Amino acid sequence: MSVLGAPKFTGGTPMEVDMERLQRTMQWLAIRKEAGLHIDPETAEAASWFAYTVDPYGVEPEIPEEYQQIGREYFARSPGSDLWVDFGDLPKATQDALWKRLGRQTSAQEGDDFMLPF
């Protein structure tokens, strides 16, 4: 179950459900990628929490066991927005600027607080 408001599905035949899920999930993810293009790294809010590394948003209902690896994932959003965007969906320049604000060049360190210090 996603903490980020993953899309819900209405039902139908198994194939219709799969197609609807794929279509809604792709649209849901595209909205986050688009939002990421507009995040200003100078004013962005950032947070981290543990999630599946292959599905940081928690939208995939069936992750094969061999891919169920949990790791700390980092998210950013514009001030006042409720739309968290995974760092991996941000433009590289935005990622780099956010890490620079943290005083790091490439990645976060273990033990970071939930809300990052900016």
Mean pLDDT across 40-44: 95
Domain membership of residue 42 (yes or no) is yes
pLDDT value at residue 103: 74
Q: Is residue 112 part of a domain?
A: no
pLDDT at position 9 is 54
- Per the structure, the count of domains in the chain is 1
Position 57, amino acid: Y
Residue 85: inside a domain, yes or no?
A: yes
User: What separation, in Å, do the N-terminal and C-terminal C-alpha atoms of the chain show?
Assistant: 28
> Can you tell me the distance from the alpha carbon of 15 to that of 80, in angstroms, rounded to the nearest whole number?
38
* Residue 78: inside a domain: yes
Predicted confidence (pLDDT) at residue 118 exceeds the cutoff of 50: no
Other C-beta atoms lying within 10 Å of the C-beta of residue 6: 19
pLDDT tens, 46-101? 999 999 999 999 988 889 999 999 999 999 999 999 999 999 999 999 999 999 98
SS3 letters for the chain? CCCCCCCCCCCCCHHHHHHHHHHHHHHHHHHHHHHHHCCCCCCCEEEEEEEECCECCCCCCCCCHHHCCEEEEEEEECCCCCCCEEHHHCCHHHHHHHHHHCCCCCCCCCCCCCECCC
Is 29 among the domain residues? yes
- 114 in a domain, yes or no? no
Residues 94/36, Cβ–Cβ less than 8 Å: yes
| pLDDT greater than 80 at residue 36 | yes
Whether 106 maps to a domain, the answer reads no
Is 57 within a domain?
Answer: yes
* Residue-level pLDDT at 95: 94
Q: Which amino acid is at 113?
A: D
Question: For residue 25, what are the domain limits?
Answer: 14-101
